[in-house]
Structure 1
Amino acid sequence: MTDSPVTTMSDAEKVRRLPWYYAHSASNAVFSALTWFGPVFVLFLNELGLPKTRIGIVLSLLPFSGILALFLAPTIARFGVKRVFIACWGTRKLVTAGLLFTPWVLQQRGVDGAFYYVLVCMASFAVLRAIAETGWYPWAQEIVPAAMRGRMYGINNIIGLLATTTALLAASWILDELTGLSRFMMLIGLGVGAGVLCVLLAFPIPGGAPGRLRETAHWAAMREALADRRLVLYLSYTALTMVAMQIFSAFVPLLMKEEIGLPSSRIVLLEVAGSAVGVLSSYGWGWWSDRRGTRPLRLVLLLLGLLPVLWMLLPRQHEWSFFGALIIAFVAGATYNGWWITDQRMLYVDIVPEERRTEYLALYYAWIGLVGGCGPLIAGPLLDASADLQGRWWIVPIDAYTPLLVGSILAVASSFVLLQRLRARLADTPPPLQRDPHVACP
């Protein structure tokens, strides 16, 4: 099975329309930072009084919903990826607005009632997000010229991170000035407003027309895609990296609060610091990856494996703890953005053939959803089970988070080995854009 022809717009026309893409991404970054993603939502769940096992369950729904991509991709392509994306992207803002009723549910039904209410909201949001993003991945490949994808992701990251930084600075101030759940309700309300703007800005982005895909050919095309050894290696390396990064994003804010002793406002400032470094480094990562291909990923994974070591060595409940955490946040900000830019460039340029983008990207989205959901689902119960772990080994404090951080180091190390195998495979075969679409993948 092959996709409908890619838009006939010239690369120059695509570049002229990219400002709409950037504006859409910026407003979506504000929505994400103030609602379901990042430290604000994790701290909100903690404020509700949820144990870490339940926090892990809530956070796992977002990535797990990506499995729907395997079943929905051909239908979404037939209806038109842009049409489906905008419909689901808009509806999920209404679902997010439902979080504003959480304090009332907590008052009426207690912590258990609030947990199930947030769980239903998250499940609804996750399904809508999965449907929308299943359409977004092939649409994004269609509208961005291949020759500048690395730089485009760099520029887009700069714009998105500036928006995120602004939102989180405001969030830090609000968390300091207000108390209880009211501060989180204000942040969620602001996030919903940014989300509505994000939907409106998606309309002028070109491409995404309905395709002519046959349901009967869909699963055969999936099997053919999985015969591509490069795709399989890529998914394997990505799985291990994603598990580690999901653990970092979900539970490092709680490490900072419970073990390091930082208040919520300073934890959000750490995210701001990481975003600021991401702004400064994003274009450099994009420029480097456009010229060196997959080579920058080796440095990224080495830095990613270093982060858990630095967190384990961070002084607990010390006057210098915040400054140490700030330095680590700088490293983390550059590393996370470096991985996203270089990895996505490799996916779209070296792994996915344009004429088979629907099945390749459906597999990719479903896979990262499956493995990404496993991270918080495993980490939450592990943290609850290790709650009484205390001690010291040489200069390393031992606490409930130590097994989690050690496990993430092992995951990143295994990911590095698989990346080396993938790079060797890529060196032996031509990139997807040079393949004959009627020749089977190696």
Structure 2
Amino acid sequence: MATTTAPITTTQKIRALPWSLAAGALNSVFVQFTFFGSAFILFLNELDISTSQIGFLLSMFPFLGLVALFIAPMVARFGYKRTYITFFGIRKFVTILLLTLPWVSVQFGPQVTLIVASVVVIGFGLCRAISEVGYYPWAQEFIPHSIRGKYTANSHVMSSIASIIAVAVASFVLSLPGGLERFQFLIVIGILFGFASVWSHTHVPGGDPISETDDEKPATYRDMLRTLRDKNLIFYLVGIALITFGTGPLYSFLPLFMKEQVGLTESQVVLLPTAALVGGLLMSNLLGWSADRYGSKPIMLLGVILMIALPFGWLFMPKGSDISLPVALSIAFFQGISGTAWMLGSRRLLFGSVVPVNERSRYMAVYYSAIGIVGGLSQLIGGNLIDWFSGLSGQVFFVELNPFSPLMLASVVLPTLSLLIFQRVRGDSNVSVTEYAGMFIQGNPINALESLVRFYRARDERATVVQTEKMGLSHSPLTVDELVDALTDPRFNVRYEAVISIARTPSHPRLTSALIEILLGTELSLSNVAAWALGRIGDPEAVAALREGLNSDYRSVRAHCARALGTLKDQAVRGLLLEHLKNEEDKGLQMAYAAALGNLGAEEAIETVFALLLDFENDRARMELALSLARMIGQENQFINLMRQLRADPGTAAAQSLLDFRQHVGKEGDPEFLKLITRASDAFAAEDLDAGVANLVLMIQEPLAKLGLRLVAQKMLNQCAQALAEHGAERSELLLLTLHVLQAGAIT
């Protein structure tokens, strides 16, 4: 009877991830010192193997991936983990045979050396292909998808650090005097690290054999053919192919380009991967976090865009110069960033969106075989292209031609085409690469990221409130998730500060939705602030909820909703607000309705609001009502500036305002009317406010046609004349409003 192994829990997976991370770091040293580092290309070059022959050898690695189509069912039955560990270990023994190549070269010459090297590469590549057929489905199982981006980033960081150290050691060793024994020393060290990596992988759970009774059945060959009907997979593979053909050959032979065309030494060439590793190391955590948060596709496409830019740097970099190395290192730095973005995004997209979990065996077999064919052909073509164009020289416009120029051209054109193909691949989020990139040019992204880190590390309520405030002050969309999370914090002050901070943040659908939920909720102390915040943010999507809030059982909520609707210029509620204002007895609500009507420019409310202005006793309330009336005329900023001037020096400010109005009337105005303006201005200038107001009242009681004002301004001046005649200079808001109407109410 077949037994079913219980699935490993997420907790078990997370506990075992450090072993996987360690294994990856150890394996990085192995690959840098053996088959996949710059040292290996230089090693083959020292053995008098040509670039086309090197291309042939390198093509064996991906070509051997075709075995996946034939062994996938057997691997599933044998067990993904068991397969990987077994052949991952065997390939280390095969690597030992690299140590014999210098002896073979001396004894039998370059042709036999090429044959032996081919046998070693094929043996290693075959073991590698078989082991990776087991690894990909196993990795999809033991890495939780919710933290796949974070895991991949951490893995990249550890592997990069290990690789940087390995490259530094390789550079030092190759700078020493000597011959091929320098490469042999590196290979021995690499093999030792490789065995340590195998041991670490044995501690990772999962990857058990699959039987016919399991939910996931071992793939048959017919299943694998049926996989090719999946258009999403096909588009993904075509995009991968374009990237591989475009960048694979160039990146493989880049060490030779740097040595032969740029003029760098071997030790300098080996240093270039260090800069690439540093670039990837610095950005991997941010990119991994971004992939988990905003989806794989924008990160992947960002990597492709950066890849397209790299060849321009290599084409125009100085050659044979003292600054050649610094420039090459700088370009390599950005190459590391682009490669990391591409690797994190494409791999996460593969496991999360392209490959169904219950069909991983057949999908991964097809994927691995496809990239094997593409990768092998790209290496063959790349090596032969360099040989075919070995005599290429000259200059086209300002571009210097060399044997590597065709590869440079391909590395621009093909990735550009891949961008179009990847648009057809189903993503795992709705965030586009443009939206993702835009997050880093809005607000202050550095402060936003810093506050995010500190937000999660805050030890108490006060520290959390401070970081919540800083997230809002960053004005960055990067903080959206944390601000929404802060709204559900059990600590009231954190929730309150989150609402305030959201009001400082650019409009975002999730933030608006979260505030609406609070507005319509039962937490009154936050509903008020949420209504205010919705008005400040200015998102039209909040209008419906704010209208609903006008019917709230709580007066404070109704007041804030009314003010917010005024801020949002919701003209549809003008009639309703005016009706509420006429029937409302609560002064706070009266103020709110009047403020909203002022923002809406509701001229029909002038008499009602003016009556409130005369009735209120609070100075600040009267000034706000005066502002509401001024907004119905327009030019709010002029009203505020005049208010400040009147507070500082009322006589001079009023006199200057009337002189400005006199210029508007012009010299051709009625002489008697001009005399009234002059008398009022002179009285104000002499600090005789009562006389100034008296003359002002006489002036605005003249036939209003002389004033050259709009109808709404004339209507308001009628109210001002009666109020000023009754209250005189003691009501500063009336004088302010009158002067503002004269300035802003002119016919234009």
Q: Deviations over 1:383-440 (max 9, x none)?
A: 111111111223321101001110121111111110112247987xxxxxxxxxxxxx
Measured after TM superposition, the shift of residue 50 of structure 1 is: 1.2
Q: How does 1:282-297 map to 2 (within 5 A)?
A: 282-293=284-295, 294-297=297-300
> Structure 1 pair 374/406, CA: closer, same or farther in 2 (3 Å)?
same
- DSSP-derived class of the 2:35 partner: coil
Matched, 1:301 2:304: yes
SS at 2:400 equivalent: strand
TM-score by length of 1: 0.93
CA spacing shift, 1:154–1:165, aligned 2, 3 Å: same
Alpha-carbon distance in 2 for matches of 1:388, 1:242: 25
Opposite residue 224 of structure 2, the aligned amino acid is: M
Q: Which residue of 1 aligns with 2:280?
A: 278
Deviation beyond 3 Å, 4+ runs, structure 1 = 4-7, 213-217, 423-427
Query: Does residue 24 of structure 1 match 2:26?
Result: no
8 Å Cα contact 1:56/1:376 also seen in 2:
yes
The aligned counterpart of 1:430 is none
CA positional deviation for 1:213: 5.3
**C-alpha spacing 1:317/1:273, structure 2 compared with 1 (3 Å):** same
Find the counterpart in structure 2 of residue 211 from structure 1. 210
Q: How many residues align?
A: 424
Q: Distance in 2 between matches of 1:326 and 1:172?
A: 14
Aligned AA (1:363): V
User: Which amino acid in 2 is paired with 1:226?
Assistant: L
Q: Which letter maps to 1:64?
A: F
Give the 5 Å matches for 1:318-357: 318-357=321-360
For residue 5 of structure 1, report the CA deviation from its aligned partner.
7.8
What residue in structure 2 maps to residue 374 of structure 1?
377
With a CA cutoff of 8 Å and minimum separation of 6, indicate the structure with the bigger relative contact order: 1
- What residue in structure 2 maps to residue 141 of structure 1? 140
Gaps in structure 1 of 5+ consecutive residues: 428-442
Give CA-to-partner distance per residue, 1:70-105, whole Å, 9 cap, x none: 110110110111111111111111110111011110
1:40 aligns with 39
- Work out the percentage of aligned pairs sharing the same amino acid: 37
1:151 corresponding residue in structure 2: 150
Counterpart Cα distance in 1 of 2:380 and 2:187: 24
The equivalent position to 1:251 in structure 2, one of 228, 253, 272, is 253
Aligned runs of 1:66-145 on 2, under 5 Å?
66-145=65-144
3-state DSSP of counterpart to 1:421: coil
User: Which residue does the alignment assign to 2:365?
Assistant: 362
How much does 1:352 deviate?
1.0
Q: Distance in 2 between matches of 1:295 and 1:7?
A: 36
Offset, 1:248: 3.0
Partners of 1:395 and 1:426 in 2: CA distance: 42
Aligned AA (1:406): L
Give yes or no for contact 1:350–1:426 (8 Å, CA) kept in 2. no
Q: What is the alpha-carbon distance in structure 1 between the residues aligned to residue 368 and residue 161 of structure 2?
A: 26
Report if aligned partners of 1:154, 1:283 keep a CA contact under 8 Å in 2.
yes
Work out whether residues 74 and 213 of structure 1, in 8 Å CA contact, stay in contact via their aligned partners in 2: no
Q: 1:314 deviation in Å?
A: 1.4
> What is the Cα deviation at residue 319 of structure 1?
1.6
Aligned ranges 1:171-186 → 2 under 5 Å: 171-186=170-185
Alignment check: 8 A CA contact 1:34 1:40 kept: yes
Kept in 1: contact 2:73–2:218 (CA 8 A)? no
SS in 2 for 1:72: helix
TM-score (norm 2): 0.55
Asked if the contact 2:349/2:427 (under 8 Å) is kept, the reply is no
In the alignment, is the contact (CA less than 8 A) between 2:43 and 2:183 conserved in 1? Answer: yes
- Cα distance in 1 for residues equivalent to 2:87 and 2:427: 39
**1:88–1:132 contact (8 Å) kept in structure 2:** yes
Task: Please state whether the residue corresponding to 1:422 is helix, strand or coil.
Answer: coil
**Conservation of the 8 A alpha-carbon contact between 2:303 and 2:340:** no
Residue 7 to residue 374, structure 1, CA distance change in 2 (3 Å):
farther
How big is the shift at 1:115?
Answer: 1.1
Listed one character per residue, the Cα deviations across residues 126-185 of structure 1 (whole Å, up to 9, x for unaligned) are 001000000000000110111111111011100111111111100000000132211111
Measured in 1, the distance between the counterparts of 2:340 and 2:39 equals 19
1:170 aligns with 2:169: yes
Measure the CA separation in 1 of the matches of 2:150 and 2:40: 31
Name the structure 1 match of 2:196: 197
Q: 1:340 is matched by which residue type in structure 2?
A: M
Q: 1:265 aligns to what? A: 267
CA contact (8 A) 1:38 1:249 kept: no
Q: Is the 8 A contact 1:78 1:213 kept in 2?
A: no
Letter in 2 for 1:278: G
**Which piece of structure 1 moves more, 290-299 or 34-43?**
290-299
User: C-alpha separation between the residues in 2 aligned to 1:271 and 1:393?
Assistant: 30
Q: Secondary structure at the match of 2:211?
A: coil
